[in-house]
Structure 1
């Protein structure tokens, strides 16, 4: 059967971080991504996924193997490449995580496939990635009509104290911060002390959230939420205990601390469970965790329908397509509580993409990408870190 899709290559990339990034469950010293190149009707597309074993059960090795096993005859004939809006509608209707993973969905692998397909489709039609959003009438209620730069969050991880990270910022720059996300320690008491440091440096006007990465047991999570609310006035707590422990999350909410889901919210079904059980008030959406741009957009739509607010997050060390596609969504979402953009300018002093990663650190602002597609191609420096996939340690995020 003839079709316009050709999978050129799927490989893993592990790039050393210039500075480690640490939270209670893991210290990152290198990025871990799967990169996919394909051709759609003769036009090249480049995609990325960030497999994390304890989030989706995927490793770079399993994601690469799933992408290599994909039969283009299954997907290619569905894509009406000559009709942009129709092709987007078809992709929005497909369950790519299950197409690749069967009964165990593979959202990170799906994100690599979808970002590559959308990149090629947009390039074929001379469109930026934001045109994909314009082709989704079902999402009009959560989108603005034009792109806009977004103010981005400052994430304080465990590789530095809050004072070390925040006092390094000149006062004028520190004064422009709108949201700080603090990574939690194993101890709720020590975490509350770190939160108090942030409050002492920035005052009460800055929104403060604390990300536990699912590291506290239910009792500890309830105690920690109470301490953070009473001592530091934290605005919300993110993934305070094991994923989908709906009863414990509900108790934390009932105690007065809004809960944000991350690992507990991979798709719209999770969002619906969270709303039905009153277990959360907010959801952290990440392109790779959700399976791509279109599933992430669908989660934002469902969250709004159910009265949950949205944060747009990132994976540590996103190489290129993921952060670019994430910025496209951030630039158009009408209502977000926070937007993360990563610290690739610190982690990768030598640019990995052409054009390189950009962010305005003085104004804490990330511009939307201009396109076409997601606007990026691999830089020469990336080639040294791309290889056939290999097994990796469990518990990486």
Structure 2
């Protein structure tokens, strides 16, 4: 039996951040998400995408337009909603970013649609979102049997010095840190100075990575990677130069500094190419960037097959569904090098979701979401920041040109 599927509402959320967040390519003073509500056989699902032009090429306007012009009757007849494993299998076989964007994939828009679909499907069956992972036998090798709390990273951005951020932690909490992700400055040499300050505060046992957000030119990226490895014992460098500059990334890898891909790795094709060219050792998986939970899981599977390690990351300022879905994945992956959880408790003084973000800042741990579905609904504090969209042309779609493929291209 197929399902009845209807989009009940599309809204944008632009919420001011209590404290800005800055990196080499962008400074965030407010968040920007597209929130989708749909009805699957009368059960409501809530989804989120976080379009970032510097990540996937999508704009908030473009993602909204793609969702507004999407006809849910395309999917409804395909989803056997009464059969949970089969329904998950159908959704796993679809390439939603290309269904919505054609030859210019729209993963953030797809993430909004997929997270809403999976939330509704799980709620229809009274299941937590982690049940989706259990319904993917092709991913069994990368999954642990049960969800568990994860130790989370501390991300030091450019709005504060390392000393300002790390010394603000209680001594006991600072001593429990296991991984620092440091945002890079425009200058590799000044970035090394920041990295050395982290080492001076925390010592050599804490893992340290540096994220340049693709902001360094190739010569600076190669020089910076070498200096960071030699002087600050950096464990890996994330997206050191422009996305998909495979030659530069390979040279950095070959010089002895492990490379983590972020903007360069949006799908399994990117992971495959990175491994084939020797351009990376690690991949940062983010739900919105990758198009949803199921494409993210598929990337984790492919990365393991190719010998690449995985980090589960976040977009800055995720409202709710995205961080809950990402945490669901992180809680079940058998092996991860790092997990990010965001700082919604710091950025938004009033919780935007019910229940709110749960994280133990003293011990740097985050519990798995309880469900049903992703377990969240909008809180009253979010309402004032929502803007309802109107059907029709809301402006140009801005996406990074990428080669398209059939939207049913995956094998389950």
Runs of 4+ in 1 over 3 A off after TM superposition: 388-392
Write out per-residue CA displacement over residues 73-106 of structure 1, whole angstroms, 9 at most, x where no aligned residue.
1111101010000000000000000110111000
Aligned equivalents of 2:147, 2:322: Cα separation in 1: 18
Contact kept? 1:60, 1:391, Cα under 8 Å: no
Corresponding position: 1:161 with 2:161: yes
Instruction: Note the 1:305-324 alignment, pairs <5 A.
Output: 305-324=305-324
Counterpart for residue 170 of structure 1: 170
Corresponding position: 1:29 with 2:52: no
Contact kept? 2:9, 2:388, Cα under 8 Å: no
Corresponding position: 1:92 with 2:92: yes
TM-score (norm 2): 0.94
SS for the counterpart of 1:54 is coil
Contact kept? 1:153, 1:341, Cα under 8 Å: yes
Counterpart for residue 107 of structure 2: 107
Counterpart for residue 371 of structure 2: 371
TM-score (norm 1): 0.97
Aligned equivalents of 1:46, 1:121: Cα separation in 2: 11
Length, aligned pairs only: 393
Corresponding position: 1:273 with 2:270: no
Contact kept? 2:310, 2:336, Cα under 8 Å: yes
Counterpart for residue 117 of structure 1: 117
Write out per-residue CA displacement over residues 100-125 of structure 1, whole angstroms, 9 at most, x where no aligned residue.
01110000000000000000000000
Q: Where do 5+ consecutive residues of structure 1 fail to align? A: none
Counterpart for residue 145 of structure 1: 145
Contact kept? 1:100, 1:109, Cα under 8 Å: yes
Q: 1:142 to 1:233 in 2, by over 3 A?
A: same
Aligned equivalents of 2:32, 2:395: Cα separation in 1: 11
User: RMSD in angstroms over aligned alpha carbons?
Assistant: 1.3
CA displacement at 1:3 relative to structure 2: 4.7
Aligned equivalents of 1:192, 1:137: Cα separation in 2: 44
CA displacement at 1:388 relative to structure 2: 3.8
Aligned equivalents of 1:164, 1:260: Cα separation in 2: 26
Aligned equivalents of 2:349, 2:395: Cα separation in 1: 27
Aligned equivalents of 1:369, 1:194: Cα separation in 2: 35
Contact kept? 2:275, 2:306, Cα under 8 Å: yes
Aligned equivalents of 2:77, 2:68: Cα separation in 1: 18
Contact kept? 1:199, 1:232, Cα under 8 Å: yes
Corresponding position: 1:289 with 2:289: yes
Q: Where do 5+ consecutive residues of structure 2 fail to align? A: 400-412
Contact kept? 1:243, 1:264, Cα under 8 Å: yes
